[in-house]
Structure 1
Amino acid sequence: MAALSLAATACGGSDDAEGGSAEPAAADEATDLTVVMWGGEDQEMTVDALVMPWAEEQDVEIRQDSPSDYAKIRAQVESERVTWGAVEVEPNFAHTACENGWATPIDFDVVDVSAIDEQFVDDCAVPILEYAFTIAYNTETFPTGEHPTSWAEFFDTEAFPGQRGFWRYATGAMFEAALLADGVAPDELYPLDIDRAFAKLDSIKDDIVFYDTGQEQVQLVSSGEVPLIQAWNGRIFEAAEAGQPVANEWNEHLLSYDQLIIPQGYPNTELAQEWMDWFLNNPQAQADYANASAYAPVNEAAMEFIDDDVAIELPTHPDNAAQRASVMDYRYWSEHYDPVSERLNEWMAAG
């Protein structure tokens, strides 16, 4: 299945993990927990804020591996040699893994999700962060106030000349953006009209540049080579803080999120779920991660502990949430990822 191939998450640091993954270790002791995320600086920030304070309190040894790899999860489960504990994945894979028995059902008597928006919780998965697909723009090419403020304007290459950037990935929200640009109402996006979306993408195909990593995304828009790009909000905020001429437009953004699963057969499943319960119900820890990463907490109570200059750049800030077009429907994508990906690859190859 194509969906089992490694996928670089939108907010992860996969482009920083070129040195390879850490050597995985079996969880031989009841006080070991292996966490697996996307690698790079984001994994460091996540572990520092959301894992280590709990581990130190509970005297738990934390082992790490990276990056998350869907084929490896399946292989570990099917060989009954599971060494990965809590693994960060995309929600469409979490749903597929649950249906196929590769992920352990969450014991909600152990993991309290009462403070979490139920749309982000699945039978086998809980959310770890939220982020947004935004319209990002180069502020030298399009000064703030003169930039596109809707997907319709993003697709208008006459009024706003220049190349457009999209993530080279079916669940990267390009189809949702194309349909919004073509006049589909936000509450009528799903199920996606893929034929209509491709027709809209055809209208600007010659101006589309695809990127593969967060680093490449930032380089393209900050250099002005691609002055308009569909972006991950945290990457753009980080670049702006570093002095790059970039900014997020929050109107019509698409809300996304990552989840955690526990591969079926992991020896220390109960310990992994105890950690999940801790971070989901620890607003301060989630705020610490948000302040470091500019990705949003999943517990709304964390917002009061987030620095004001960071909070205004999060999709959970009230001003930004009011401009949201839709939440990504990953149950739809768990069913349609493979055929749409195949068609997308053919479309890109056709030139």
Structure 2
Amino acid sequence: MKKTIRRLSIVGASSLVAALALSSCTTSEPAGSGSAGAISGDILFYDTSGGVVYEAEAATLFADFTDDTGVSVTDDYNEAATKFFASAEAGSMPWSLMLFPTVNDAATAAADGLLEKIDTSIVPVDKLVDGTYNEYGIEVGTFGMVLAWDDDAYPDTKPTEMADLWDLDTFPGKRCFFNNPQYGWTLEAALLADGVAADDLYPLDVDRALEKLDEIKNDITWWTSGAQSIESFENGSCDIGILWANRAFTALDANGFPMNITWNEAGYSNSVWSIPAGAPNAAAAQELLAHVINNTEGQIAFASVVPTPIPASVKALSPTDFPEQVQAFLPVGSNVDGSVLQDSDYYLESLTEVLDQFNRWVGQ
């Protein structure tokens, strides 16, 4: 099913104001295990999202936790998990909470013995959607990788599928892609555009995908962070491309940019919160996980600004519990009927080879 999101009303900063109002409400359930009063200090958060995502977390879920416990959450932004693995290998672990950008990153860390187990006497994992957690982490954000475009650039015919990225006549302009294919849906989009059925994507035919990308290589602008992805649209570096749905919403809602998206042939995946082995404040991190799961109003507040709902909210709430302007950007329900769940097991097994081949192609 092809589903295109037409331009929504611009509410700008009012979304954040409303979210803050929601998050200031008292939840109807206890924050954690009842031992939260014994924790103190700071949680240094290894954050691979940054930008508006962390700002929204800080203003809602993390602010609520600090108000209730006195424990602050300090952000340490890193583009990928590389620094975490290097520090773990060196025996240095300053972080108490880790955001792995993908499920397979978290699986690798768990297999290497780099993570603490989730304390289920504190963290109510029974409130999470089945399959969205394990003993070493909880999936905290489902993110969509969608076809997006400047709606003013194409006032008549609108893109509807990934093949439109290769149609330079109907949709002229530079194309924006993330420079890391694992998080950017770049190879999958190329294969879909080349006629591969969604059910046949994995294992990826990387050679075929790169041959398809060769056709538009000179028309690609690479973005390297979520913030840069929407800046590339806003400063005119590209007119069409693949974006994370939450960033597309930010461009539209907060920045007033005429961003338009379709979920058709989009990809979606999950990020994971875990507690590093040897974390300096693991006790507080356990309580933070519990607090977030119990804080339904904070979940709504966060996802109203950044539409990457955590599984607790997906289980307990429906999209209509969120403000109207964000509903179409949430990677849930009928929005993802025409989308594809990324195969994290494939990337777990093949990431090194895929990145090597992709990076050599980019450098040619």
Superposed displacement of residue 33, structure 1 = 4.3
- The reply to whether residue 322 of structure 1 matches residue 337 of structure 2 is yes
- The reply to whether residue 343 of structure 1 matches residue 352 of structure 2 is no
Matches within 5 A, 1:178-189: 178-189=190-201
1:232 corresponds in structure 2 to: 244
- The reply to whether residue 127 of structure 1 matches residue 127 of structure 2 is no
1:163 corresponds in structure 2 to: 174
SS in 2 for 1:263: coil
Work out the CA distance in 1 between the residues paired with 2:237 and 2:54: 29
2:230 corresponds in structure 1 to: 218
The correspondence for 1:308, drawn from 306, 309, 324, is: 324
Superposed displacement of residue 76, structure 1 = 4.5
- The reply to whether residue 142 of structure 1 matches residue 157 of structure 2 is no
> In the alignment, residue 66 of structure 1 is paired with which amino acid?
D
Aligned residues of 2:192 and 2:198 also touching (Cα < 8 A): yes
- The reply to whether residue 295 of structure 1 matches residue 308 of structure 2 is yes
The correspondence for 1:90, drawn from 98, 101, 106, is: 101
> In the alignment, residue 277 of structure 2 is paired with which amino acid?
Q
Work out the CA distance in 2 between the residues paired with 1:75 and 1:216: 25
- The reply to whether residue 152 of structure 1 matches residue 167 of structure 2 is no
SS in 2 for 1:66: strand
2:268 corresponds in structure 1 to: 255
Superposed displacement of residue 52, structure 1 = 2.6
Superposed displacement of residue 161, structure 1 = 2.8
- The reply to whether residue 105 of structure 1 matches residue 117 of structure 2 is yes
Is 186-195 or 73-82 further displaced after alignment?
A: 73-82
Change (3 A) 1:72 1:215: closer
Change (3 A) 1:116 1:178: farther
Higher relative contact order (CA 8 A, sep 6+): 2
SS in 1 for 2:152: coil
Work out the CA distance in 2 between the residues paired with 1:151 and 1:307: 29
Work out the CA distance in 2 between the residues paired with 1:93 and 1:182: 29
The correspondence for 1:191, drawn from 196, 200, 203, is: 203
Superposed displacement of residue 78, structure 1 = 4.3
2:72 corresponds in structure 1 to: 62
Superposed displacement of residue 66, structure 1 = 0.7
> In the alignment, residue 125 of structure 1 is paired with which amino acid?
G
Aligned residues of 2:198 and 2:340 also touching (Cα < 8 A): yes
- The reply to whether residue 44 of structure 1 matches residue 49 of structure 2 is no
Work out the CA distance in 1 between the residues paired with 2:276 and 2:91: 10
SS in 2 for 1:255: strand
Task: Say what the alpha-carbon RMSD is for the aligned residues.
Answer: 2.4
TM-score using structure 1 length: 0.82
Superposed displacement of residue 79, structure 1 = 5.0
Superposed CA deviations along residues 188-207 of structure 1, whole A, max 9, x for unmatched, are 22221212211221222222
Work out the CA distance in 2 between the residues paired with 1:217 and 1:41: 12
> In the alignment, residue 284 of structure 1 is paired with which amino acid?
E
Aligned residues of 1:129 and 1:259 also touching (Cα < 8 A): yes
The correspondence for 1:285, drawn from 294, 298, 303, is: 298
Work out the CA distance in 1 between the residues paired with 2:342 and 2:44: 25
1:205 corresponds in structure 2 to: 217
Structure 1: runs of 5+ lacking an equivalent: 1-28
Work out the CA distance in 1 between the residues paired with 2:216 and 2:305: 36
Change (3 A) 1:141 1:71: closer
Superposed displacement of residue 134, structure 1 = 0.8
% identity of equivalent residues: 29
Structure 2: runs of 5+ lacking an equivalent: 1-37
SS in 2 for 1:104: coil
Work out the CA distance in 2 between the residues paired with 1:122 and 1:195: 34
TM-score using structure 2 length: 0.79
Superposed CA deviations along residues 270-293 of structure 1, whole A, max 9, x for unmatched, are 432232123124321111101122
Work out the CA distance in 1 between the residues paired with 2:144 and 2:218: 26
Aligned residues of 2:97 and 2:285 also touching (Cα < 8 A): yes
Give the count of matched residue pairs: 318
Superposed displacement of residue 149, structure 1 = 0.4
Aligned residues of 1:237 and 1:248 also touching (Cα < 8 A): no
